[in-house]
Amino acid sequence: MRTVRNDDEIGQVVPLMAAALALVVVALLALVPVARVLGDRARARTAADAAALAGAAEGEAGARRLAAANGGRLTAFTREGAEVVVQVRVGRADAWARAGTQVTAPPATVCAVSWCRRRGAVP
């Protein structure tokens, strides 16, 4: 058997591959800003959590310090009784967090038996 070859179709794969490669490049370029925003959002949540905990323990100065240490900027700080609410901005993402200074005794089941026996909590 003899294969018939049409000379008009020679080299048709090259333009198709070039078009496919161009689509892949455009898709990757479109995903870069999305990835950046998602990364900023995660860092903003982390910075807000850390700032809220520091703010509950040390006040606004501690919250500002920890927000900056985590790459963020404290944009709002509110103390509501024993609770602190902070807003932190990283890049274009904002995050809010709340923390309090409520001290409670741990339940007896959390206590290690040897530690509790030394203190008379377990017979």
Q: What is the pLDDT of residues 46-76, one digit of tens each?
A: 999 999 999 998 899 999 999 999 999 999 9
Tell me the residue range of the domain where 28 lies.
12-118
- Report how far residue 60's alpha carbon sits from residue 78's, in angstroms, rounded to the nearest whole number: 9
Q: Is residue 6 part of a domain?
A: no
The answer to pTM > 0.85 is: no
As for how many domains the chain has, the answer is: 1
Longest dimension (CA), the chain: 97
- Residue of 43, 95, 84, 90 whose CA lies nearest to 61: 84
Question: Does a structural domain hold residue 1?
Answer: no
| Rounded percentage of the chain residues whose pLDDT exceeds 90 | 46
Q: Extract the residue ranges of the chain whose pLDDT is less than 70.
A: 1-10, 102-123
